[in-house]
Structure 1
Amino acid sequence: MLLSSTPPESWGFKPTPRALVDDKGEQVPANAETVTSAEELKALNAELAASLEGGFTSEYAEVNGVRLHYVTGGQGDPLVLLPGWPETWWEYRKVMPALAARFRVITVDIRGMGGSSKPQSGFEKKSMAGDILALVRHLGHEKVSIAGHGIGAMVAFAYAANHPEATEKVAILNTTHADQSYYKFPMLPNPGDKGPHRWWLAFNQVAGFPEKLLTGRYRHIIDYMFGLSLVDPEAITDRDRDIYAKAYSSAEAIRASKGWFQSYQQDIADFESYDKISVPMLGLAYGTFFEYMSQVFPQQGTDVRMAEIEGTRNYLVEEQPEAVTRALLEFFG
C-alpha cells in the first residue's frame, strides 16, 4: 500500500522505458510476458539468494497450514523482515548483507506472496502474524525482532500486538495498520486534491477481474506503482521490476495478493481490539507521512521512537538502503 509524503508534480505516471525482444531478437509488446511457473520461481529465488553477500539461502517451511518461503543468512539475534506490495523478499536485498553482520536475518514472503503458497483464505493480518509466529517457532526462536513495510508492516504490527511474548522490538516502515480512516478514502477525488488517489484498494476488491487483466502482464502495475512514488526511478532497476513481475505473473498469485486488501474490513475490526503495543516500536517514514505517524504512533504504543528517512517516499528500503540500515541497526542493535 502507498501512503507517502508530498507528491511530485501531479503524481503523473512515469513508466520506465523497456524494450522486450523474443529469442530471435524481434521486439514484442510489453504485455506479452509469460506466466512464471512455481519451479521457475523456486530456481530464481535460489539464484537471487545466493547472489547476496552474507551466505544467504532460499528455504521453505510448512507452518500454520501454509508453505512459507524465506531467505536467511547471517549470525546473531533473529531479525524477521516482511515485504510489501507489489514486491517480494527481494525488496530487502540492499539491506540484508549489512544486517546479516549483526543478526540472523530471516526475510519472508508472506502468505500469498512470491515463493509462498497461495491459499484461498487466511489473509487477515492477525492470521498472517500467526504464520510468522509458527515460522519463528519452527526455526527454534522464542523471541525475534521484526520489521515490515507496506502490507508487511501491518503483519509486523499484528505480530507485536498479538504475540508480545515473542517480540523483542518492532519497526514499522511507512505504513500504519489499517484503521477506520481507510473507509474515508474517496472513490472520486475532489478537484485539486493531492494524490495519490488510492484506486488500487478498490480495484483489488473486485472478484476475478484483476486476474483477467493482469495475468502475464503484471509488469504494467509494477511500473505504475513505482512510477507513482519513486524519487529516483533507477533505485528499482528494470531487472528488479522483472523479478517482481515474475512473482505476480500468474492468476493464482494475483488472486492471492488481492486477499491482503480484501481482508481490510476484518483487519480494521481486529485493530480496534488491540491494546497498545507493549514492546519498543520504531516508525520510519518521510515528510507528511512521517508527521502523521509521529502523531498516531504514541497512541498505539507505550515505547515509540520515530526516524525520518529523507530522499524517498514509499519505497524507502530500496531507495535509501543505507539510511534504513542505520536506523534499523541503531534501533535493534
Structure 2
Amino acid sequence: MPTDTDTAPDPVTGTTGVTGVTAGETADARLAATLDGAFSSRYAEVNGVGLHYVTGGEGTPLVLLPGWPETWWEYRKVMPALAERHQVIAVDIRGMGGSEKPRSGFTKKNMARDVHELARHLGHERINIAGHGIGAMVAFAHAANHPAATAKVAILNTTHIDDSYYDFPMVPRPGDQGPHRWWLAFQQVQDLPEQLLADGRYRHLVDYMFNLSLLNPDAITPRDRDIYARAYSAPDAIRASQGWFQAYREDIADFNAYPKVTAPMLGLAYGAFYDYMRRALPTQGTDVEVKEIKNTRNYLVEEQPEAVTEALLDFFG
C-alpha cells in the first residue's frame, strides 16, 4: 500500500530520517522550511517507487516537475506565489533528489504514471501539471497518457523528445549554432560517468550546465549549486539520472504513438527555442498557447521567476 509520511531518503546518503527539528531532519525538510508559507517535505510509495515531494498551499492541485541537473528546489522562487491559489506539489521525479533511485522504469510514460498515482494517492483525480527539461517530457507524457486526469499542462523550454534527437551531430560543423549537446551522448555511456563524476566532482558538471545557459550566473547561487551537486553526487544518483536519457529510444517510440494532447497546453521558452516551440507544440496539441520568457535561456524558472509565475498563474487560473 502507498504510504505518505514526513520521512524521506537523504539526497546524499540515501538513508532515511524523520523531518522536524531533530537530529534526523533531512536536508529537504530544512530547505522546505525556508520557503515563505507552510511547505512540508513528504514521501510516498507509488507505482513501485518512493517519491519525495514538497507541498504547500490550498486550492486546485498544481504539480511541478523539475529538470536536470536540478531538483524540486528549482521551483523555490515561484512556489510561494503559486501556493496562494493552488495546492503546490513539487516532485522529485523517479531517480532525482530525495526520491528513490531504482534501476529501471525511466521511460517518460512510466514516470508519468508515477505522477498520476501520486496525485491519486493525494486524493486528486485531476491535476494541473508543469514541467521543465526532463520534467517537461514527463508532464507531456502525463497529458498524453492520462487525459482525463490532466486539467492543463505547461511545458517549460523542452518539448518531448522526438526523432530529431537522432540527428544531433557528434561533431558540430563550423558555424553551427550552439550549444552542442554532447552531454546527451555522455549520458548513454554505461558505468564511466559514475566513476568520473562521483566523490564531489558532479559540481563541475552542474557549474558547466548553468554557466552555459544563464545570462545572470548569480540567479543560481553557489549555495543552490551545492544543493544540486550534493543531490547528484552519489553513484546511484548519477546512474539513476542517466536512466532518464538512456530511455530516450523508448520515449521516441512512445511519442510517435501518442495522439494530440487535448488538455489546454502552455509553452514557455526563450529566443530561438521559443520560435521552435511556436512551430512544434501546435502540432502536438489541440489547444496550445506559447509565450516567450525574455532575458533568459534554459533555466528560466530560476532566472526569471516573476515572469514565469505570472505566466503560470494566468494560465492555470
TM-score (norm 2): 0.93
Per the alignment, residue 131 of structure 1 pairs with: 114
* Displacement after TM superposition at 1:38 (Å): 2.3
1:121 to 89, 94, 104: 104
* Displacement after TM superposition at 1:69 (Å): 0.1
1:97 equivalent to 2:80? Answer yes
SS of 2:26's equivalent in the other structure is helix
2:211 to 205, 227, 236: 227
| Superposition map of 1:299-310 within 5 A | 299-310=283-294
SS of 1:113's equivalent in the other structure is coil
The C-alpha deviation readout for 1:51-102, integer Å capped at 9, x for no partner, is 1011000000000000000000001000000000000000000000000000
Per the alignment, residue 288 of structure 1 pairs with: 272
* Separation (CA, whole Å) in 2 of partners of 1:97 and 1:39: 29
Per the alignment, residue 279 of structure 1 pairs with: 263
Per the alignment, residue 92 of structure 2 pairs with: 109
Per the alignment, residue 72 of structure 1 pairs with: 55
1:210 equivalent to 2:186? Answer no
| Superposition map of 1:118-267 within 5 A | 118-216=101-199, 217-267=201-251
Per the alignment, residue 35 of structure 2 pairs with: 52
* Displacement after TM superposition at 1:36 (Å): 2.7
* Separation (CA, whole Å) in 2 of partners of 1:165 and 1:138: 16
* Displacement after TM superposition at 1:193 (Å): 1.1
What amino acid maps onto 2:32 in structure 1? A
SS of 2:27's equivalent in the other structure is helix
SS of 1:146's equivalent in the other structure is strand
1:317 equivalent to 2:301? Answer yes
Identity of aligned residues (%): 71
1:37 equivalent to 2:13? Answer yes
Q: Tell me, which stretches of 5 or more residues in structure 2 are unaligned?
A: 1-10, 18-24
Per the alignment, residue 7 of structure 2 pairs with: none
* Separation (CA, whole Å) in 1 of partners of 2:121 and 2:33: 23
SS of 1:317's equivalent in the other structure is helix
What amino acid maps onto 2:46 in structure 1? V
* Separation (CA, whole Å) in 1 of partners of 2:233 and 2:55: 25
SS of 1:239's equivalent in the other structure is helix
* Separation (CA, whole Å) in 1 of partners of 2:254 and 2:12: 35
Per the alignment, residue 21 of structure 2 pairs with: none
The C-alpha deviation readout for 1:134-171, integer Å capped at 9, x for no partner, is 10010000100000000000000000000000000000
The C-alpha deviation readout for 1:116-137, integer Å capped at 9, x for no partner, is 0000100000000000001001
When the two chains are superposed, the root-mean-square deviation of aligned CA atoms in Å is 1.1
* Displacement after TM superposition at 1:39 (Å): 3.9
Q: Tell me, which stretches of 5 or more residues in structure 1 are unaligned?
A: 1-34
* Separation (CA, whole Å) in 2 of partners of 1:38 and 1:124: 23
The C-alpha deviation readout for 1:270-303, integer Å capped at 9, x for no partner, is 0000000001000000111001000011110000
Per the alignment, residue 28 of structure 1 pairs with: none
* Displacement after TM superposition at 1:191 (Å): 1.2
* Separation (CA, whole Å) in 2 of partners of 1:176 and 1:169: 16
* Separation (CA, whole Å) in 1 of partners of 2:155 and 2:303: 16
* Separation (CA, whole Å) in 2 of partners of 1:244 and 1:39: 18
* Displacement after TM superposition at 1:40 (Å): 8.2
* Separation (CA, whole Å) in 2 of partners of 1:40 and 1:87: 21
What amino acid maps onto 1:102 in structure 2? R
Number of aligned positions between the proteins = 299
SS of 1:326's equivalent in the other structure is helix
